[in-house]
Amino acid sequence: MSDGLPVIHEVAEGVAEVTLNRPEKMNALTPEMICRLADAWDAVQADPLVRVAILTSAGDRAFSAGADLGRLTTLLTRSREPEDEWDERLRAEPKLLNRAMLRRTDMTTPVIAAARGAVVGGGMELLLACDLRVVSEKSVLGLTEVKRGLIPAAGGVARVARQVSAAHAAEILLIGDKIDAAAAYRMGLVNRVVPADQVLKAARELAAAMAENGPLAMRAAKDAMVGSSGASLSEAFGIEDELIKGLLRSKDAREGSKAFMEKRRPEFTGT
């Protein structure tokens, strides 16, 4: 990409695109990238004009190889002292890591992953944090932390255990081997498997379709989906009830019904 920033955040026609832009290092995450990612997600969530976001990366080798062991890991383990403003900020605000990795429950804007190449470690955790996932036919995916004496503790354990069967989760977490895109699709980890040069196109098509939906409704649906995970059925019904009350009072709900009766496309405003 032409922009020299390691994380690029752009918005057009209701769709935000957040791009990991360090292809020469397999988009491995540095302290600067963590800070910029956290800021990008905060901006996406706060922008009423953004209806859906895409997380993608530059280059074909890797969506992200996870943490940069020399820059991020050494800072987090305190084996090196801060060397620049990004190091200082991350050391001072450790919760930035959670925000950057979407290890949060307040991110109600839908996010689509568009991944090419290797999706491993922290890159896999970012993919798992996205709501829909498009990957390349040649992608390999994995949570390999146990091979280094660690666990994927930026959301990987919690999310994979909820998203696939117990047997598949155990295979991914305890063996630590990479799986190919076809296996990931069979497990239900990804939504689309396409040629590498079609990954971003497919994600943008999904985003365009979603951008036509009611933005309040999509945020509420995601909020209910996340909030009711692990809840009892009665608790889940209660979450639905609270969210639909707000939607029924919205202009978008009235517009949706009116447009249906008038046989036209609704013009949602997010209000």
Any idea which residues carry the catalytic annotation?
125, 145
Who contacts 89 (Cβ-Cβ below 8 Å, separation ≥6)?
31, 35, 96
Cα within 13 Å of Cα(22), Cβ side = 22
Q: What is the spatial distance between Cα 146 and Cα 185, in angstroms, rounded to a whole number?
A: 23
Q: How many residues does the chain have?
A: 271
Q: At residue 14, what are phi and psi to the nearest 5 degrees? A: 80, 5
Q: Which residues contact 206 (CB under 8 A, 6 or more apart)?
A: 112, 132, 134, 191, 192
CA-CA-CA-CA torsion for 93, 10, 55, 131, nearest 10 degrees? 90
